[in-house]
């Protein structure tokens, strides 16, 4: 019961955050100088002031901002994100929907990679504090923190794609002969294309998470109950993985939730470098065309994903920490 109440509270708490995000983005975007019209109008000698005015009216840009925002919100409530300003005038949701799966796939894969690699790495580094292993991982972490991910992407493309010719460097699948491939070959083809993007978008997280795991583990290993567990004569493996790691993972869950915006934000860069037709690329072209509805739609989708990620983190937290599940923490 307590868990359901907790969950409802969290979900309700997300609502104002969500509207805050839409409000800020809407106003920031519209208050900035320049408007979609100028791109179409400035280079068109036949454009008269009246025509420009008519275009503005057609897109609803002649109304005061708060009217535009409330109109946009009304649409959102009906799950309608409006239509793109681009000449095709397609529905924003359709544009996003066809690109969303790729972006989510890459982000989920890199999240899994991050967890699978950084947690064991961090634990090992903490258990053997100051050992050679610890020092080497620390150096690697520092380097990974400081390296611009898009540059690492370039280097990997240079090595794997051009120098050794091992992996494809752009797109999601081969352009030639893709249709003739069997299912298995298609999967292999996709995986080959995804290796570099997934790895590159995971780099920052790999560094951050192994660092956090390490320091969190070090903190826990100093606690009395670990000494107790050891004194009981439990095997070291059990002490580390059952007693220590469980507690060390708690703060990590929150960090996991907080790292989602950065991970998704990175998509813009990786999708641009690796020519992957995902949401990031859509966002990019919308920015270039000053396509307000697509920009807003993108922001909405991305912030929903982020908030969902945070919610999942909260649930995960509750699942492992009974104090939160039973609401004990709020009584203190």
Residues found near another protein in the complex (CB under 8 A): 16-17, 20-21, 24-25, 28-29, 32-34, 142-143, 145-152, 154-155, 157-158, 162, 258, 261-262, 264-266, 268-269, 272-273, 283-284, 287-288, 290, 295, 298-299, 302-303, 306-307, 310
Cβ burial of 160 (10 Å; 0-12, 13-18, 19+) is middle
Question: In Å, how far are 150, 179, 219, 245, 255 from 252, measured between CA atoms?
Answer: 26, 43, 13, 11, 5
In the complex with another protein, the residue whose CB is nearer, 72 or 229, is 72
Q: How far, in whole angstroms, is CA 332 from its chain's centroid?
A: 34
Is-contact 162 249, C-beta < 8 A? no
- Closest approach of Cβ 332 to another protein, in Å? 17
- Closest approach of Cβ 262 to another protein, in Å? 7
- Closest approach of Cβ 210 to another protein, in Å? 15
Is-contact 112 123, C-beta < 8 A? no
- Closest approach of Cβ 1 to another protein, in Å? 27
Which residue shows structure tokens 């990031």? 280
Which residue shows structure tokens 């469980």? 246
- Enumerate residues 6+ apart whose C-beta is below 8 A from 75: 81, 82
In the complex with another protein, the residue whose CB is nearer, 188 or 304, is 304
Is-contact 59 85, C-beta < 8 A? yes
- Closest approach of Cβ 258 to another protein, in Å? 6
Report the C-alpha gap between 230 and 218 in whole angstroms: 15
- Closest approach of Cβ 200 to another protein, in Å? 12
DSSP-based helix, strand, coil % in the chain, nearest 5: 80, 0, 20
The radius of gyration of the chain from alpha carbons, rounded to an integer in Å, stands at: 24
In the complex with another protein, the residue whose CB is nearer, 149 or 250, is 149
- Enumerate residues 6+ apart whose C-beta is below 8 A from 4: none
In the complex with another protein, the residue whose CB is nearer, 120 or 150, is 150
In the complex with another protein, the residue whose CB is nearer, 136 or 158, is 158
- Closest approach of Cβ 132 to another protein, in Å? 17
In the complex with another protein, the residue whose CB is nearer, 147 or 312, is 147
In the complex with another protein, the residue whose CB is nearer, 16 or 101, is 16
């Amino acid at each position: 019961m307590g868990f359901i109440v907790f969950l409802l509270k969290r979900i309700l708490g997300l609502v104002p955050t969500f509207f805050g995000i839409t409000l800020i983005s809407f106003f920031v975007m519209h208050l900035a100088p320049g408007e979609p019209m100028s791109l179409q109008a400035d280079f068109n000698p036949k454009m008269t002031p009246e025509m420009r005015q008519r275009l503005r009216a057609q897109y609803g840009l002649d109304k005061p901002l708060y009217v535009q925002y409330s109109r946009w919100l009304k649409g959102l409530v009906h799950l309608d994100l409006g239509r793109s300003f681009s000449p095709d005038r397609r529905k924003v949701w359709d544009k996003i929907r066809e690109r969303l799966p790729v972006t989510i796939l890459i982000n989920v894969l890199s999240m899994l990679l991050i967890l699978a690699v950084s947690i064991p790495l961090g634990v090992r580094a903490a258990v053997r504090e100051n050992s050679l292993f610890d020092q080497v991982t620390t150096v690697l972490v520092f380097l990974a923190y400081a390296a611009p991910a898009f540059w690492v992407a370039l280097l990997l493309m240079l090595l794997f794609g051009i120098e050794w010719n091992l992996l494809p460097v752009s797109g999601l699948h081969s352009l030639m002969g893709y249709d003739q491939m069997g299912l298995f070959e298609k999967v292999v083809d996709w995986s080959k294309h995804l290796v570099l993007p997934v790895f590159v978008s995971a780099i920052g997280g790999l560094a951050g998470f192994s660092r956090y795991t390490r320091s969190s583990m070090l903190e826990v290993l100093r606690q009395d109950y670990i000494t107790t567990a050891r004194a009981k004569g439990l095997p070291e493996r059990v002490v580390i993985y059952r007693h220590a790691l469980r507690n060390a993972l708690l703060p990590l869950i929150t960090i996991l939730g907080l790292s989602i915006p950065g991970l998704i934000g990175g998509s813009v860069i990786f999708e641009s470098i690796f020519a992957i037709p995902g949401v990031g690329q859509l966002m990019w072209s919308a920015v270039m065309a000053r396509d307000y509805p697509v920009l807003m739609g993108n922001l909405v989708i991305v912030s929903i994903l982020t908030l969902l990620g945070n919610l999942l983190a909260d649930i995960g937290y509750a699942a492992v920490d009974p104090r939160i599940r039973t609401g004990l923490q709020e009584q203190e």
